[in-house]
Structure 1
Amino acid sequence: MDAVSELLANVWGRGAVFRPTVLRPPWSLRMATGAPLMVAMMVRGHAWVVADGREPLRIAEGDIAVIRGDVPHVVADAPSPGAARTVTASDYCPGGTGPTRSCGRPEDGRDGGFGGGFEDGPVLLSGAFTGRGGVGERLLNVLPAVLVTPSAGSAVPAPRAMAEEVTRARPGQMLVVERLLDLVLVAAVRGWFDDAPGRCRALDDPWTAAALRLMHDGPAHPWTVAELAAAAGASRAAFARRFTELVGQPPMAYLAGWRIGLAAELLRDTDLTVEAVARRVGYSGAFALSAAFKRVRGSRPSEHRRPPRGPADPPSPSGV
């Protein structure tokens, strides 16, 4: 399985929402949906994604922007936006029902009501993975705060066709919206890999690729730099230098992040105890995993637990 497929294998659009918005300059929308991942495409016109503390990124017509949910950001018609209207989860398709909703008509950005048409001005198509269950921790750990890739030449339908599709009330629309959001994310991540020579070289380099494969396939193994280097057929020093250059971090730092990402998914998606999760991902026990979580993420494993379903759920070990 290639790197993109591996990252996205357990990602799905369940809990997705899509909304086209007809806008009137000057416009500025602060996205505060609480979603773990947001996407934005311009059906008509262009926009800027202005993430707090980062350089603004321009989205041309048809470009795909993917923004991590932990990154406060504004989507606006200018790189230095004015006062922004806040968009929350409740703004996505008021009155809609079910885990996946699409607005019946484009929203008119002038007054927050529904109306307008695709020919009336700039049109933003925004989507959100509203449930963390559909977005893998490993993907969120790898993605930059904001990435922008062109949709041209990808498998994604034309933005206008997508906008029209999500505004139709037809049988199976929920599945269509979910699959469209999946497709947009795959196209964006694949384009990001294509435009990043370092990531591609890491996958093509025999030493680095061999080490990544070993760590991914056996996270519970007590890997050392020396052992990974030997398996790759390289000296320890040469392997460590090349891995760090191509991946962007030393082998053990990458392994720690990979293990913590796996642990977060197991904590969220299974009923395994923290002790069991720790041993599955290469830590001696719950407290070792807790220390690693605090070091890597500044949080505790218990903060990644899904809400308990009832009194029968086993508690996490004390203090973890």
Structure 2
Amino acid sequence: MVGPLTVMSETLGPTAPDDVRCCAMDALSSLLAGPQAREAHLLRMQMTPPWALRIEDRAPLAVLVMVEGTATITPDGADEPVFLEQGDAVVALGATPYLAADRPGRAPQVLILPGDRCVDLSGADVSERMSLGVRSWGNSADPESVMLIGTYQRPEAVSRRLLESLPGLLVLPAADQPEAFVDVLSAEMIKDEPGQTAVLDRLLDLLLIAVLRNWFTRHTESAPGWYRASADPQIGRVLGLIHDHPDRPWTVSVLAAEVGVSRAALARRFGSMVGESPMSYLTGWRLALAADLLREPDLTLETIARRVGYGSAFALSTAFKREHGVSPRDYRANAA
């Protein structure tokens, strides 16, 4: 039996030196706090060739793991397909539709549409016809290929900065895969017990975090500026201060004093490494947090404003509308 401590120890994987990893993970932890599955759509897809699915569900984010067999994924506009082997994991962002199939060039047989609708090319619903039991779906009870799919149904505003830094299709090879999480999720997915939805949501979150952490560690050159900057002794500390204490009245001078550099040096180095000024990054982080907190119906706008560093609800509303194009009240209503 795999216990929680075993799962955590087996999925850490090789990383940067401890001091660098600590700073980088602090920034990453703040941004990974956004993707929190709530009644996520989880499915064990069982397929035998020939098969091809066109995914057009526009889900903000999906995690796919090839448990058995092989498959190909071809995003719209891509020159070449991505070949998946057993153990490979994929993080797909919903903005770009893609084709999942047993081989490249296969014509789609089923369309996956928003709202978890599965239809054939005539528009007829095939969800029930292809059902194979609890959270299991496909064209074969004795499949050659099995894929675990976890889909986040709605965006989480805090993770926007993270998701915008990712490629449309991120692939983590089997050698870098957090196997323990996959094993536990695979076993739990076909259960139908009390509290199962909550269990699966949390397992999906853990799998996503493990995949993204391992991918960032192994693709530092492709990682966003804030991730690479987290390893810098001064800029990493500044990012940590911004993430951990957005309510404080930060200025460039105050942040520079906290890390022992001049105001000009901090502004120059932060902009070079992160790609924006410290105050621009702070504003973006505060407003992302505010958007997430607006999903909590019991929090007043005044409370949210204080938590994210704005002196009043009016000041937050002005900045929020400038960033998001809608007032906090309208954003909360839409989120609900």
TM-score above 0.5, yes or no: yes
> For the residues of structure 1 that align with 2:135 and 2:293, how far apart are their CA atoms?
39
> Is the helix fraction higher in 1 or 2?
2
Partner in structure 2 of residue 285 of structure 1:
312
Instruction: Say which of 116, 129, 138 aligns to 1:108.
Output: 138
1:1-320 paired onto structure 2 within 5 Å: 2-9=26-33, 11-23=35-47, 24-25=49-50, 27-32=52-57, 35-43=59-67, 44-48=69-73, 50=75, 58=82, 60-61=84-85, 62-69=87-94, 71-77=95-101, 85-91=111-117, 104=134, 106-109=136-139, 115-119=140-144, 122-130=145-153, 132=154, 136-143=156-163, 144=166, 146=168, 147-157=170-180, 162-163=185-186, 165-169=188-192, 173-194=196-217, 195-197=219-221, 198-305=225-332
Asked whether the equivalents of residues 74 and 82 of structure 2 are also in contact (C-alpha less than 8 Å), the reply is yes
Secondary structure, counterpart of 1:2 in structure 2: helix
Deviations 1:6-44 (A, max 9, x none): 333465444122112234445132231x64432122232
Contact kept in structure 2, 1:31 and 1:88, CA below 8 Å? yes
Cα deviation, residue 261, structure 1: 1.1
Determine the C-alpha separation between the residues in 2 that align with 1:274 and 1:179. Answer: 29
Structure 2 CA distance, aligned partners of 1:214 and 1:253?
Answer: 15
Aligned residues: 290
CA RMSD of aligned residues (A): 3.6
C-alpha contact (below 8 Å) 1:266/1:272 kept by paired residues: yes
Gap change, CA 1:53 and 1:305, over 3 Å in 2 = farther
Q: 1:171 to 1:213 in 2, by over 3 A?
A: closer
1:283 and 1:63 mapped to 2: Cα distance?
Answer: 44
Q: 1:313 is matched with which residue?
A: none
* Change beyond 3 A, Cα 1:167–1:268: same
| Structure 2 residues not aligned, in runs of 5+ | 1-24, 119-125
Cα distance between partner residues in 2 of 1:230 and 1:59? 50
Which letter maps to 1:202?
A: A
In structure 1, the residue corresponding to 2:56 is in which secondary structure?
A: strand
Change (3 A) 1:234 1:151: farther
Mapped partners of 1:106, 1:149: distance in 2: 24
Partner of 1:116, secondary structure, is coil
User: Is the CA contact (8 Å cut-off) linking 1:20 and 1:107 kept in structure 2?
Assistant: yes
Query: What is the SS of the residue equivalent to 2:294?
Result: helix
Amino acid paired to 2:63: V
Which digits, 9 at most, give the CA deviation of each residue in 1:181-220, with x for residues without a partner? 1221111221232122555541221211121122123212
| TM, length-normalised to structure 1 | 0.73
Shift of 1:172: 6.2
SS of residue matched to 1:268: coil
**Cα separation, 2, equivalents of 1:79 and 1:228:** 52
Aligned CA distance change for structure 1 residues 54 and 139 (closer, same or farther; 3 Å): farther
Q: Is the 8 A contact 2:181 2:207 kept in 1?
A: no
Structure 2 letter corresponding to 1:116: A
Instruction: State how far apart, in whole Å, the 2-side matches of 1:254 and 1:240 are.
Output: 12
| Post-superposition CA distance 1:159-196 (Å, at most 9, x none) | 58754652344676445433431221111221232122
